[in-house]
Structure 1
């Protein structure tokens, strides 16, 4: 706006000097200087004053030029139109206080009213001049033109600002609508994932458990029947694995972009030490990792199951063992990985059983997909077994055997203090 104001000021001064030279008469030098000064005053304020100040100064100088010198350069008249357009625009945007809510709204309303009243007042002098001077004179012609253009410019500025605000509000509404749609879609995907995990995955895991149990517990079963039951169990476990992958995709879509953990490698036995250290820091209790046997690389699914079982068992110990020491024990054999998480806390409350069917009422949360049932499902999904219950020497113990190879010779989890 500064460059445009300078250009208008230069054009107005040149036109004022040119017209003064054409109509120069003795004793009119003062009038010529006044016309040049008012031409500057009717254009230059656009470059360094605010909307209200510039409009007031430009219109006042133009009115004085018409009444004192009887002429107004075209550039000065154009400056009046520009100032009125800016004032009309400013009637909707002058107030932008830092406060939000009602304070901001009331401030905008007050400034819009002020700008609107000022715009109406600034156009009044031009029809008065047009009625008081000859319409054939330069002053009369310019006054008539400004009588029509000044309010039209103010109205156009106000309308342009209203359109701009409408576009901004429309864009905001569309953004909110898109956000709501995305949020609803993420919530629906999360709900589907929960249903699949807590209901369907549980039933599939039970199919695998029952097929394995029927194959091992039915005496005299024909080999063909045993093979078919084994195939049922393998198919169920494969389906459970594929479902877990699908759940990973659903949860990735349902979570925020910066929490898409499924894009990172799944944890395994290599991260158990860090998990134990984190549990020790979180609970403040003594937590040990005891490893025996020759560590060997296992199937990634088995390692993930061991990690998640340990993670859930440590979480339950932190919640219910009252800060008692916790031991995480691993034993590697050629056939299986033996896992035991044992605490020496006060022990489970009423309703705790033992053996494969044991359920710890204090920690089992089947409705949320956590607790003993969730750990048992993870063990079963990879062909292993898990029990949970009170330890013989007090506290609570979670024991699991996960296959390193064939599991036919490791179907029972031994009792005692050594996994």
Structure 2
């Protein structure tokens, strides 16, 4: 049976390993970090989704395709500003605006207008536009000595964008002409400008490469984390399925045998007194109730809500409204006095609190029947403004002299802790055993 569970886990692992290959292939592809801009954003993310079998929101969550809708105005805004600055600076530096107006306008547009395609175009157009900006800047610097600040900024943006997009060599290539001018140039002013652009261009390329490496690493890390979380979840589901099979095949079988044997003993034992027949009947009813509870537990473990197991009737979790029925069952099974004491303003509580209180009382009554048979039991519910106090006390011999606490006490303590409450157990004043739990009832207390 364990082999079957391990086989399920291996199959799920293999399936998700294949999906990981698709995720890794997309993560290792070109430009995992840069944003997909413009009208093609949905198309690009849709392609990612179809290749890996995931939704666009999944890829956006992983950071592999960061979708930003950028219209024409943001793409044109920066080049337009730089072009205007270049034209203004050129007109101011020309000395005679009317005689050099055509050259100034041509150089200003040639060094800034292609930046639109660098910022918004695809891969091939981006490289071509960056080369055009670089060639125009070199032309404006060497023959005309009219390179403006706007043109220099456009050149640095091109270098950064190419390096950021994953083309560090291409970004470095744009810096090479300025190194050549700085070494072999004839004019001192030209050489100074070339040295400055070469230095700043190298810094821009290094910054772009750093951002590219970081975004790629983050994308891969997010992919690996998402895959690990999904694989862990599927492994846990496989383990829950294995536990469900074990409970169904082993534990449920033995409980069924208890019910059958109790019924057979009640019907076939000669000379059985009426009290004994009643006890056997109670044993059978308890075993059948345990089977019903186990079937509901198996349904939860299998997470099979869409295809429920035939013949399994699922009911809501019990609450304090069913506490009287529980006490009646305990009184009939143990043959002892059991009282319910309620104090404070009774109010409907959160379902989780009611289930926890019900299960604590149920386990405490079971322990009382086991360790103090025949002892009277008082169950007290005290409703307060901030908490619900649950007390279960018997007048039996009290706790054992030694020995570790059983699983029942540990389970009650875990249930109380799960809802933010506390549980204490020990000898009751005047004799007997006391279980006391305090469960928060306010929303802020639960948080």
> Is the alpha carbon distance of 1:14 and 1:145 closer, same or farther for their aligned partners in structure 2, counting shifts above 3 Å?
same
The corresponding residue for 2:19 is: none
Does the alignment pair 1:233 with 2:233?
Answer: no
What corresponds to 2:76 in structure 1? 2
1:29 maps onto 2:99 in alignment: yes
- CA apart distance, 1:191: 1.1
Query: 1:75 matched to which residue of 2?
Result: 150
TM-score by length of 2: 0.49
Work out the CA distance in 2 between the residues paired with 1:248 and 1:170. 36
Q: How far 1:33 moved relative to its partner?
A: 2.9
- Counterpart position of 1:171: 222
Give CA-to-partner distance per residue, 1:234-287, whole Å, 9 cap, x none: 1111111111121122122xx5xxx5445999679xxxxxxxxxxxxxxxxxxx
Map of 1:244 onto structure 2: 295
Q: 1:156 corresponds to which residue?
A: 207
2:9 match: none
Judging changes above 3 Å, is the alpha-carbon distance between structure 1 residues 266 and 246 closer, same or farther for their aligned structure 2 residues? Answer: closer
Question: Which blocks of at least 5 consecutive residues in structure 2 are unaligned?
Answer: 1-74, 119-124, 315-447
Q: Which residue of 1 aligns with 2:135?
A: 60
* Secondary structure in structure 1 of the residue aligned to 2:153: helix
Per-residue CA deviations over 1:61-104 (Å, capped at 9, x if unaligned) read 000001111121000000000011111122x2xxxxxxxxxxxx
CA drift at 1:185: 1.2
SS for the counterpart of 2:271 is coil
**Does 2:254 align with 1:184?**
no
Matched residue of 1:70: which SS?
A: coil
CA-CA distance at 1:51 after TM superposition: 2.0
5+ residue gaps, structure 1, are: 93-114, 269-419
Q: Which moved more, 1:156-165 or 1:73-82?
A: 156-165
Could you list the structure 1 runs, at least 4 aligned residues long, displaced by more than 4 angstroms after superposition.
259-268
Q: Which residue of 1 aligns with 2:349?
A: none
* CA distance, structure 1, for counterparts of residue 310 and residue 163 of structure 2: 57
CA contact (8 A) 2:296 2:312 kept: no
SS in 2 for 1:143: helix
Q: CA–CA distance in 2 between the matches of 1:150 and 1:70? A: 19
Residue 124 of structure 1: aligned partner: 176
SS of structure 2 residue aligned to 1:18? helix
User: Counterpart of 2:245 in 1: which secondary structure?
Assistant: helix
> Aligned residue for 1:84?
159
Aligned counterparts, 1:20-419, within 5 A: 20-21=94-95, 24=96, 29-30=99-100, 33-48=102-117, 50-90=125-165, 92=166, 115-133=167-185, 136-137=188-189, 139-252=190-303, 259-261=305-307
Q: Structure 1 residues 81 and 158 mapped into 2: Cα distance closer, same or farther (>3 Å)? A: same
Change (3 A) 1:6 1:263: farther
The answer (yes or no) to whether the contact 1:123–1:147 under 8 Å persists in 2 is yes
Residues 331-387 of structure 1 show CA distances to partners (whole Å, capped at 9, x for unaligned) of: xxxxxxxxxxxxxxxxxxxxxxxxxxxxxxxxxxxxxxxxxxxxxxxxxxxxxxxxx
In the superposition, relative to structure 1, how do residues 151 and 263 fare at CA in structure 2: closer, same or farther (>3 Å)? Answer: farther
Measured after TM superposition, the shift of residue 214 of structure 1 is 1.3
Say whether residues 1:12 and 2:12 are aligned partners. no
The 1:40–1:264 alpha-carbon spacing in structure 2 relative to 1, beyond 3 Å, is farther
The alpha carbon displacement at 1:134 in A equals 5.6
Judge which range, 194-203 or 1-10, deviates more. 1-10
Give the aligned partner of residue 54 of structure 2.
none
The number of aligned residues is 234
TM-score by length of 1: 0.52
